[in-house]
Amino acid sequence: MRRKEKINAPTTRYQGSKRRILPWLETIFSTLEFNTALDGFGGSGSVGYLLKSMGKEVTFNDLLKSNYQTGVALIENNNITLNESDINHIFNEQSSHNSNNTIATIYEDVYYLDKENRLLDNLIYNIETLSDMYSGAELKYKKALAYHILFQACLAKRPFNLFHRKNLNLRTKTVKRSFGNKKTWDKSFQEHFRNFNTEYAKFIKSNDKKNKAINQDIFSVTGKFDLVYLDPPYSRKHHNSPQNYAEMYHFLEGIMNYNNWEKNIDLTRVHKPFKCTKSNWNSDLTKNFDALFKKFSNSIIVVSYGNKGKPSIDTIVKLLKKYKKNVTTISHPYSYKLNRNNGIGYREVIIIGR
């Protein structure tokens, strides 16, 4: 974008989010005729939220349970927010004697300070006990929003906003820093939570459509959609497998599987990742793309991809042409916030099949 364009979508710490190029994507979507849309790899929810704001009936899908909560909170939810009473309940320290100590026990000196680990155990217990105050759809959306906000707070307090390695020392050691934001890392969970809650409350609104979030492998999704948007993990040069988001955000998946967390941890690795549900989106990406294009051949297909990804743009275009008569590509300069050097020469490419 040559000029600063307003991005009317919630902020996110999620790697790979398309939030910064939403104005460009909106321009592209505006040229297509559709009423219903599937965001097949929903992730941060940024594109799903854009489609919702454009008045489309949106189905948000993601295999990760943590991302599913984001879809429920921001896409499916039309009017439920967290009030002061809810936040006071979530941060009620009096309930700490009732909560488990899974995080405090397993993740000592891995991701957060000891007192923060104990707090997280308590916050999860308190979010679950929102059921003492609410029921039905209201409870569903209150909990989803609380978890989504908690996830953003967890990411904000992590170096690189990830859980890919044991590196709490980057935050705690006293050295001159060339990266990161120690002030943000050291801000309390409650302050982060309240700030994110204030922000997200402004974005929760209805578009008068029946939007929904689902938690499935992309190959299991059923239904008819005018448009299918696909932003899948892909391999980069020198790598044979697609980027593993479950590996980067396994801690958030652990939170969503709290009662079974301890039984599903890989203790052979120092950062103790949670063993997430395996995706069928595997190393044979050419075969995967072909299968997806065939599956959604009756829909307008919009693929978001990187010009340095594997398989190549040319390969994807060739595959899409098997099912679509009209295939076009549009590109845009793009670099990741945390690693701008890695983004030299990188372009986001939109491939449209009609």
pLDDT digits (tens, 9 = 90+) for 278-319: 788 877 899 999 999 999 999 999 999 999 888 999 999 999
Quote the CA–CA distance of 47 and 288 in Å, as a whole number. Answer: 22
Torsion region of 208: left, alpha or beta (phi above 0 gives left; psi -120 to 50 gives alpha) = left
Residue 187 tokens, joined: 């801000």
Tens-place pLDDT, residues 129-163 = 999 999 999 999 999 999 999 999 999 999 999 99
Q: What is the reported pLDDT for 1?
A: 35
Q: What is the mean pLDDT of residues 21-32?
A: 98
pLDDT for 180 beyond 90: no
Higher pLDDT, 170 or 297: 297
Quote the CA–CA distance of 66 and 62 in Å, as a whole number. Answer: 9
Give SS3 for 177. Answer: coil
Contact status, residue 76 vs residue 212, Cβ threshold 8 Å: yes
Q: What is the reported pLDDT for 2?
A: 38
Q: What is the reported pLDDT for 198?
A: 98
Query: Worst-scoring range by mean pLDDT, 38-47, 94-103, 149-158, 344-353?
Result: 94-103
Tell me the pLDDT of the chain averaged across its residues.
Answer: 92
Q: Which domains does the chain have, with CATH numbers?
A: 19-173+180-353 (3.40.50.150)
Q: What is the mean pLDDT of residues 169-180?
A: 72
Picking from 147, 149, 155, the residue whose alpha carbon sits closest to that of residue 127 is 147
Quote the CA–CA distance of 236 and 19 in Å, as a whole number. Answer: 21
Q: What is the reported pLDDT for 179?
A: 56
What global pTM score does this model have? 0.93
pLDDT for 217 beyond 90: yes
Give the CA count within 13 Å in the CB-facing half-sphere of 236. Answer: 8
The total of other beta-carbon atoms located within 10 Å of residue 93's CB is 10
